[in-house]
Structure 1
Amino acid sequence: MANKSKLFDGMVVFVDVAKLGSFTLAAENSGHSTSYISKEVNKLEARLGIRLLHRTTRSLSLTQEGELYFQLCQQLIEDAEQAENSISGNQGEPRGKLRISCPISYGLSNLSPVLSLFTEKHQKIQLELELNDRKVDLIADGFDVVIRASTQLEDSSLISRRVSQSEALVLASPRYLAKHGTPNHPYDLDRHKIISYSNLKQPNIWLFRDHQGETIQVHVESHVLTNNATLEIDLAVADQGIIRVPQFALKDEVEIGGLVEIFCDWPKPPIGVYVVYPSRKHMSAKVRSFIDFVIAELGD
């Protein structure tokens, strides 16, 4: 392990280069020469034993290891700035880039309507919001906070707080049901066109609980398999099959009669919405402010 006195050598310089994408711009920003900046990054790479940057005569880009190191270093520098602000009377005003990942349907239906309140209140936070139904790796992908919707979160060293709870509804259009019949039992689904959500571990297995609490496992044949709940809903409204989606993904499709709920008298699987983040210790003000905001605005 490197001498602790040299642990942070080159880190601030490297982060500047990575942010600005140029040794020259990093030199101008810091008041040093370009050669000094280049030497500091070279010494850092030598100490770490890894290449952080791809260099050509025309471009500069981060390696995979460099991208991960950049995200971690950026957080360390922001934490250090936060510490200085706290003891200098600034009281840690939330600031800096905040990277968030959120499922598309939840982001559009729930987060989007209130997000302007957050950006208006915290104008020194640069918000980077990625709507993606893919299960991202919070640490490796460099996110500060991830919003997840799941029937059950996997065991993890990450911290999670439940924001709210929704339900999974089985739906189809009235015209589809008039043409193909309404299933009375989950086992009847094997005779229907099914539109499934591909990001599930087993998209072709739908689980139900009966009134005695027993689990029923239904194998369905997916007519369409997609990773987007909005597309599932659009296809169902267009009479293309039966879907199972979280209630929060719906707009007014049920109220205006575009979709009809099936198995209304069956227990509905709960879907929890969670905020997930790395640690409660040394949480930055920007992360804490966002988590508190989501809980206050969107919590049950």
Structure 2
Amino acid sequence: MTSNKLFDGIVIFTQVVKSGGFSAAAESMGHSSSYVSKEINKLEARLGVRLLNRTTRSIGLTPEGEAYYQQCQQLMVDAEQAVELITQHDVDPKGRLKISSPIGFANSYLQPILSEYMQRYPNVSLELDLNDRRVDVVAEGYDLAIRAALQLEESSLICRKIFSCKGYTVASKAYISRHGRPHHPQELSRHHCLCYSNHKTPGRWQYKDSEGDPIQVDVRQKVLSNNAEIQLALTLSGHGICRLPKFYMTDALASGQLEILFPALPAPEIDVYVVYPSRKHLSPKVRAFIDLVVEKIPPTVLAEDASEK
């Protein structure tokens, strides 16, 4: 028997037994009596045994039918429990939630959100991958990932924008003291630049002038790294100039450890997204986390950034 035929007729068979006849089963399932009878005949033919003894007034299970019915009942219970497990939206989230997030975003925003999520939903366990690497959400089994990008690449993933922040080109006072302050992006070709290797063109930095026209410069790559935390640390130590989203540098900018270069030029806007495999049948644990992130991320991020422009 082929596997795609294995469960054919089971639902109708169990309903016939529960209802005590073809007509009652047909009425409860919205079928005709003849359809139900034909499906039972096909099931018996496929199994090679008679399951039901029929008279004009009643039906009865054969010994083989009794044994088969007991197993079918268990299958139906198991199937209903499986459906209930993954489709209930009115129960507390449960299971393991696997998340990928950039380190800087996690440090700036996720810590209190994760703490509250665990308090609200104690039946969920978390698996966190805090890494700037662009993970394959589906192939690596992530429930969701957080991504920051100037422009999110096309994919089959569902994305939900959390907020936008500014990206700044920055240097430390020590670096500026030793190497001078560049006043235009084209001057970066003569400076030490710390580049982010996860970008498609890490050594080509894009800007816009005050009229909105593009400026493109091929910078001198002093350090190429896939980790923004390392870039920030080396920049703070005076080893070069880097470009990062504001959420990586909030404290360093507030304390004056870093200076924003080219303040007269429009700062690029970096969008932060939650991405996940599918909107359809979204599990309660994922839905609850996304809702909490949207609830807790400060709505003033854009306004604060705009005031600094």
Check whether TM > 0.5. yes
**1:244 paired residue number:** 243
In the alignment, residue 235 of structure 2 is paired with which amino acid? A
Residues 79 and 284 in structure 1, CA contact (< 8 A), matched pair in contact too: no
Partner SS, residue 206 of structure 1: strand
Give 1:229 deviation, angstroms. 1.2
Task: Give the Cα separation in 1 of the matches to 2:5 and 2:147.
Answer: 37
In the alignment, residue 288 of structure 1 is paired with which amino acid? R
| Pairing 1:216–2:215 present | yes
| Pairing 1:296–2:279 present | no
1:100-249 maps to which residues of 2 (within 5 A)?
100-249=99-248
In the alignment, residue 119 of structure 1 is paired with which amino acid? M
Residues 237 and 258 in structure 1, CA contact (< 8 A), matched pair in contact too: yes
Task: Give the Cα separation in 1 of the matches to 2:6 and 2:84.
Answer: 16
Query: Is there any run of 5+ residues in structure 2 with no aligned partner, and where?
Result: 9-80, 300-309
**2:4 paired residue number:** 3
1:144 and 1:211, CA in 2 relative to 1: closer, same or farther beyond 3 A?
Answer: same
In the alignment, residue 276 of structure 1 is paired with which amino acid? V
Task: Give the Cα separation in 1 of the matches to 2:267 and 2:219.
Answer: 18
Structure 1 counterpart of 2:86, from 82, 88, 110:
82
Task: Give the Cα separation in 1 of the matches to 2:293 and 2:159.
Answer: 13
1:131 and 1:223, CA in 2 relative to 1: closer, same or farther beyond 3 A?
Answer: same
1:86-101 maps to which residues of 2 (within 5 A)?
91-101=90-100
Give 1:212 deviation, angstroms. 1.5
1:4 and 1:229, CA in 2 relative to 1: closer, same or farther beyond 3 A?
Answer: farther
Give 1:166 deviation, angstroms. 1.0
**1:271 paired residue number:** 270
Task: Give the Cα separation in 1 of the matches to 2:288 and 2:151.
Answer: 25
Partner SS, residue 253 of structure 2: coil
In the alignment, residue 128 of structure 1 is paired with which amino acid? E
Task: Give the Cα separation in 1 of the matches to 2:6 and 2:143.
Answer: 28
Task: Give the Cα separation in 2 of the matches to 1:123 and 1:272.
Answer: 31
Task: Give the Cα separation in 1 of the matches to 2:228 and 2:203.
Answer: 15
Residues 164 and 274 in structure 1, CA contact (< 8 A), matched pair in contact too: yes
Give 1:82 deviation, angstroms. 3.1
Residues 194 and 242 in structure 1, CA contact (< 8 A), matched pair in contact too: yes
Task: Give the Cα separation in 2 of the matches to 1:263 and 1:246.
Answer: 15
- For normalisation by structure 2, the TM-score amounts to 0.69
Partner SS, residue 159 of structure 2: strand
- Percent identical pairs in the alignment equals 42
1:114 and 1:298, CA in 2 relative to 1: closer, same or farther beyond 3 A?
Answer: same
Residues 210 and 264 in structure 2, CA contact (< 8 A), matched pair in contact too: no
Residues 113 and 293 in structure 2, CA contact (< 8 A), matched pair in contact too: no
Residues 194 and 223 in structure 1, CA contact (< 8 A), matched pair in contact too: yes
Task: Give the Cα separation in 1 of the matches to 2:3 and 2:211.
Answer: 60
Q: Give the number of equivalent residue pairs.
A: 226
In the alignment, residue 222 of structure 2 is paired with which amino acid? H
Task: Give the Cα separation in 2 of the matches to 1:288 and 1:298.
Answer: 16
In the alignment, residue 96 of structure 1 is paired with which amino acid? G
Task: Give the Cα separation in 1 of the matches to 2:297 and 2:121.
Answer: 18
Residues 78 and 96 in structure 1, CA contact (< 8 A), matched pair in contact too: no
Residues 82 and 92 in structure 1, CA contact (< 8 A), matched pair in contact too: no
Query: Is there any run of 5+ residues in structure 1 with no aligned partner, and where?
Result: 8-76
In the alignment, residue 229 of structure 1 is paired with which amino acid? A
Partner SS, residue 252 of structure 2: coil
Partner SS, residue 142 of structure 1: coil
Task: Give the Cα separation in 2 of the matches to 1:208 and 1:229.
Answer: 20
Task: Give the Cα separation in 2 of the matches to 1:154 and 1:128.
Answer: 25
